[in-house]
A and B are shown apart, each in its own frame.
Chain A
């Protein structure tokens, strides 16, 4: 049958013509993919709405836990900050400011901290916030049955006393000078004791958080969106919008289109290459928030090829960080000038490792390390342009004679590989990012403590320096802030010159919002601060 019809003459013209037409349509659609710079047909300005107002934000991750105590992700904590509050808060520069506590006092021996609570504060379920509620929240946080991966910050707390309805005292096992900074973490937020047994919540399964914040948790559609409603009896300054809606949109490109289409008012983490165009776009504003996340290449100091500090220093000199930041990260980072982000307490600026390939080559020669060949691992999509930056870095290393073999894998395999115990650990160089859960050097320097080497912890460069260890141990208990700072500074300088890492950059946290909105700010721990946003 096919043969029969196959004998007929084909008229190929129409087919080719149709083909060309379709292909050209496709190509023209691709070619004219709009650069966000061109203000596309903006939706007609909507008249001031008579009904309830809503601020819409698009984020990229779904909620893993709605329990403040169970937080592991900054973005989810950020969302919960609309509903729950902590005793102490952060300001834009990383300094502590009053939260639910008006004032606090650290005892002379450092073994207790006493907080005076703000009066007249209500929870969203109508009950009063008092010392008992605070005690309850902390007791719950320390309860081993409650899932709290970031509990370790608070392990120094021995007990909590509700001295009187407006006074709470934390009793510590040992002096913990970093604890006040730690109390800014959403993990330690105060929740309503009554809520733990109401609205479908249980002690260990806390699905609808009830706190003291300006918005209350209204609705959560898994994988789709979270709706928060204004809390009329909020004790602080009232925000403008009646509700806040978080849309969960995993694709950066899609988030951008949502903003451009006017479907949301603010997004975080756009496609990095679009940042320059977005900055030029008059319809949106770009905020490159400084953060506390350092990105570096951890070097396995136990590996024969990397044992000599001169080799590691050479690697630092070999990489042109500024260039990579400009061309690969599109300006969304600041070069590291110390082993941690500047916003941390105890940060101390050391000399930079400027781009100097000649110095790198000579150091390598001195160390007798010519023809190095190293395995270089990087995650994909975990950090801003991580994979791309790794390739760029490998390119620079190649220019000084170091062959770096770049590879990637999925995140869990990656973590498994880099935290393998010393006898099984085959890593040589790997990209990693570290964002301390609170802004204190103690959290950053754990990366250089011997007792934090895998498999116990995540100091994946296996760095071990007894002097540094003892300095850090001292600093962890030093109550005097100036002395503490000095101790950390000493440790940092030592680490910097030992170069267990290729110190790369401090990642910025890009926030993009509609130009029709104002009052969007940030906190230096990768959080946006849009509670007091309002229309222009």
Chain B
């Protein structure tokens, strides 16, 4: 078990390094001169050159990577080429918003998703099951932008129940969380339904039923617990996708999260920011996946690093 944990952690580290290398190269392959973009059209060559030197772009590539990586290990993510502020500071300023949105929408998605999945699995082929199935299909097929704007029009403009955009009031979280949760709810419901249904068909469940164990105990104690593995997998995957996937939601709702920052940084060639963001996002995903792996090991001791 300890060996398993150590191996998984080593793998996580290697992945992180791999991601750092990939993002470093990828972002430098993007066409366009970052110094010119950041300086703006009205700046003259002298100023553009100054910014280029400031960004360290005049140094050879391996040196740039070495600098980037050694700083990163010390926790220094560099300075945003666009704002001149430390990347870490910008990240930390926006992180709470992204985490809040991710946490709330995931929580919503898990609670509703698992509940709906259980309902659907235990009432298979009833109208309720079909309705839920249809709902999930809609959820995973819906363009986010569309959904977001529809919700704004309905709840903010027409009904005046909720704020249309921004992050000022506590209520501002509701619409963006709903929009973001739509896809996750659908996915988690489907996974719960399928997985639980599989498990409920197993022999030991029949045995429990035959012995007269109450339905609720059967479903929750035996069924759900064993179905958790794939469910947790999906939850892990979802959380990971939320950082980049929240871009459209953040744009529509003016939510000051990391997703929007990422796209803006790519479009303004703010290398340090892109690198810092992607590494952070990847780091979170890797961490979450590590957690999921460890959860597997806890739940099913037979699983080992193969």
Contact = CB atoms under 8 A, between A and B. Distances in A.
Interface of A: 1, 5, 8, 10-11, 14-15, 18-19, 22, 26, 29-30, 33-34, 40-41, 43, 62-65, 70, 72-73, 144, 147-152, 204-205, 207, 221-225, 247-251, 253-255, 257-258, 260-261, 263, 409-417, 419, 434, 436-437, 455-458
A349 to B, nearest CB: 25
A56 to B, nearest CB: 10
Given A223-B261, A412-B37, A257 B164 contact: yes
Contacts of B106: none
A72 B35 CA distance: 13
Contacts of B201: 1
B123 interface: no
Closest 4 CB pairs of A and B: A223-B256, A412-B32, A416-B32, A149-B43
Interface string B122-144: 00110100110111001000000
Interface of B: 30-34, 36-48, 50-51, 54, 82-85, 90, 93-94, 97, 124-125, 127, 130-131, 133-135, 138, 149-150, 152-154, 156-158, 160, 163-168, 201, 251-254, 256-257, 260-261, 264, 266-269
Contacts of A249: 165-166, 254
A222 B94 contact: yes
Nearest to A412: B32
Contacts of A70: 84
Contact of B84 (A30, A65, A221, A222): A65
A43 B160 CA distance: 8
A261 to B, nearest CB: 5
Nearest to B266: A410
B146 to A, nearest CB: 8
A194 B275 CA distance: 36
B164 A254 contact: yes
Contacts of A73: 40
B166 A247 contact: yes
Nearest to B151: A29
A257 B157 contact: yes
A414 B124 contact: no
B134 A19 contact: yes
A267 B130 CA distance: 45
B166 A149 contact: no
Contact of A152 (B43, B135, B166): B43
Nearest to A151: B47
Contact of A257 (B31, B135, B152, B261): B152
A387 to B, nearest CB: 15
Contact of B51 (A34, A40, A147, A257): A147
28 contacts: A1-B201, A5-B124, A15-B130, A15-B133, A18-B130, A29-B153, A29-B154, A62-B264, A63-B83, A149-B38, A149-B39, A151-B47, A223-B94, A224-B167, A224-B254, A247-B254, A248-B254, A249-B165, A257-B164, A257-B165, A258-B164, A411-B32, A412-B34, A412-B267, A414-B32, A415-B33, A419-B33, A434-B41
Contact of B125 (A10, A41, A417, A434): A10
Contacts of B54: 147
A328 B184 CA distance: 38
Contacts of A222: 90, 93-94, 256
Given A62-B264, A416-B32, A14 B127 contact: yes
A126 to B, nearest CB: 27
Contact of A254 (B32, B50, B254, B267): B254
B48 to A, nearest CB: 8
A258 B165 contact: yes
A225 B43 contact: no
Given A149-B40, A222-B94, A251-B251, 16 more contacts: A1-B201, A14-B127, A18-B130, A40-B158, A147-B84, A149-B38, A150-B47, A223-B260, A223-B261, A224-B97, A254-B152, A258-B166, A261-B164, A263-B165, A412-B36, A456-B45
B47 to A, nearest CB: 5
A392 to B, nearest CB: 24
A123 B90 CA distance: 29
A150 B164 contact: no
Contacts of A415: 32-33, 36-37, 41
Nearest to B154: A29
A458 B36 CA distance: 11
Nearest to B150: A29
Contact of B150 (A11, A30, A248, A437): A30
A22 B138 contact: yes
A151 B47 CA distance: 8
A254 B34 contact: no
A170 to B, nearest CB: 20
Contact of A250 (B32, B149, B251): B251
Nearest to B90: A222
Given A205-B84, A415-B32, A416-B36, A144 B50 contact: yes
Contacts of A458: 41
A261 B36 contact: no
B78 to A, nearest CB: 15
A29 B153 CA distance: 9
A68 to B, nearest CB: 14
The winner among A40, A41, A148, A257 for most chain B CB atoms within 10 A is A257
Nearest to A61: B264
Given A64-B83, A412-B37, A15 B138 contact: no
Contact of A33 (B133, B153, B165, B267): B153
Contacts of A248: 254, 256
A416 B269 CA distance: 11
A169 to B, nearest CB: 25
B270 to A, nearest CB: 9
A457 B260 contact: no
Given A222-B256, A223-B261, A416-B31, A149 B47 contact: yes
A412 B134 contact: no
